[in-house]
Amino acid sequence: MKDNIKYIKAFMKYIWRDKSFFIGLIMLTVFMMLAFVVSFLSPYDPRRWNTAPRERPPSWEYPLGTTTLGQNLFWLLTWALRNSLIIGFSGSLIGLIIGSILGFIAGHKGGIIDRIISNIADIFIAIPILMLIILIGSLIKTQLNITTLGVLFGVLTWSMPVRNVRSMILSLREQEFTYTDIFSGLNLLEIVYRHYLPFVIPWISMAAINRIFWAIGTEVTLAIFGLSAIDEATLGTMLYWALKYQALLRGLYWWVLTPTITLVLLFLSLYLISVGLNTYLNPKARLQRMIGGK
């Protein structure tokens, strides 16, 4: 417990020093607040049409303007952020958990099980997943919603983490503490929890952020093709409706720019965080901090 507090304190200190990490974290916090707190304050369901006057440019009453369908873009954005982040998180974590578990098993058991798992994973890595997602999306167009999208992204990208986790476990398995664990009769779960996880968690957290990126971006790509949960509010579907109603051609810039700028800023904040985390977790940089940071 005491150790944990020490680590958290050191981490906070580090964040404070690394300015771009700090900026990224603040930006993400703002987005999270908009998505998971502010969105619940909406006085009405912002997806509904004609809840606001049509095609108003940004003003005090409608901070981001309104759409041709009579939706208030500000409330719509908060809902869209929430759904997009949910897709991002679930799409990221589901695949990461499946892949990591398989990686743990392959690396720890070795032998024929290892060969089967890693060969299958290798084949799946080389398959262009996005094209398959488009194919599936076209077949289950009507059943697409936030949950199915998240699960789809998660399940189809299971193969990505297998290799990395496996190779980490392979080297950890030969360590002395693992042998001690095995000889004292611990089962796989206990070994994983006690000695593998602490070494693998840094990589997993990096991968999680990169996958959130990918999932949110993929949802928008699908939405451009009209393959997202069209009736829900997500960043992708906001863009989809704006393009569908020719918002650019008709000079309704705010309609296109709202999801566009939000996406760019969201990606930027995630990127800054991932770079900051990377340097923080990188053993070389850590060593330098320990030597020079006193």
Partner 1 sequence: MGLPVYIISRIMNYLLVIFVAVTLCFVIPRVTGSSPIETVINRLTAYGEYYDPITLQGIIESLKELYGLKGSLWEQYITFLKRLFTLDLGPSLTEFPTPVSVLINRSLPWTIGLLSITTLISWLFAIFIGGIAGYFEESKIAKFLTGFSIVVHNIPYYILGLCFILLFSYLIPLFPAGGGYSVGTELTFSIRSILDVLYHAILPALSLIIVSYGGGFIIMRGLSITTKNEEYTKFAEIMHLNKNTILYKYIIRNSLLPQVTGLAISLGNIFTGSLALEVVFSYPGLGSLLYRALITSDYNLIMGITIYSIFAITTSLLILDFIYPFIDPRIRYR
Rank residues 203 and 271 by Cβ distance to partner 1 and give the closer one.
271
Site for partner 1 in 232-271 (CB under 8 A): 239, 243, 248-249, 251, 253, 256-257, 260, 263-264, 267-268, 270-271
Rank residues 192 and 220 by Cβ distance to partner 1 and give the closer one.
220
- What string of DSSP letters covers 105-166? HHHHH-HHHHHHHHHHHHHHHHS-HHHHHHHHHHHSGGG--HHHHHHHHHHHTTTHHHHHHH
- Give the count of residues interacting with partner 1 (CB under 8 A): 42
Bridge partner residues of 77 (DSSP): none
Verify binding: residue 139, partner 1, rule CB under 8 A: yes
Reference 84, options 170, 155, 153; nearest CA is: 153
Q: Could you give the CA distance from residue 61 to residue 181 in angstroms, rounded to a whole number?
A: 64
Verify binding: residue 224, partner 1, rule CB under 8 A: yes
Q: What count of other Cβ atoms lies within 10 Å of the Cβ of residue 11?
A: 11
Q: Whole-number minimum distance, CB 134 to partner 1, in Å?
A: 7
Rank residues 34 and 247 by Cβ distance to partner 1 and give the closer one.
247
Verify binding: residue 292, partner 1, rule CB under 8 A: no
Half-sphere exposure of 44 (CA within 13 A, CB side): 11
Verify binding: residue 213, partner 1, rule CB under 8 A: yes
Q: Could you give the CA distance from residue 123 to residue 280 in angstroms, rounded to a whole number?
A: 33
Verify binding: residue 221, partner 1, rule CB under 8 A: yes
Verify binding: residue 203, partner 1, rule CB under 8 A: no
Sites of contact with partner 1 (CB under 8 A): 122-124, 126-132, 134-136, 138-141, 213-214, 217, 220-221, 224-227, 239, 243, 248-249, 251, 253, 256-257, 260, 263-264, 267-268, 270-272
